[in-house]
């Protein structure tokens, strides 16, 4: 009888460990997904900033053609 209680406790412990491991995998997957989303947004923002900077430079060159000839 004592052995069956011990084996039941071991089974419960193993089940708890399995749940914890699964939860950690899920948490890591969500963290990775969030990191990819942040990287994507950062790339879009940097591309927009570069395009805006280029557009501003073109506007400045159009306003002052003498500066472009130098």
**What are the pLDDT digits (tens) for 8-52?**
999 999 999 999 999 999 999 999 999 999 999 999 999 999 999
Buried b or exposed e, range 50-62, using 16+ CB within 10 angstroms: eeeeeeeeeeeee
pTM summary value:
0.62
Which one has a higher pLDDT value, 28 or 4? 28
DSSP state of 64: -
């Amino acid at each position: 009888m004592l052995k069956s209680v011990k084996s039941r406790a071991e089974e419960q412990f193993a089940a708890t460990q399995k749940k914890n491991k699964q939860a950690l995998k899920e948490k890591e997957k969500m963290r990775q997904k969030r990191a990819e989303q942040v990287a994507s947004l950062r790339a879009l923002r940097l591309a927009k900033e570069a395009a805006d900077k280029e557009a501003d430079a073109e506007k400045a060159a159009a306003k002052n053609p003498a500066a472009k000839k130098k």
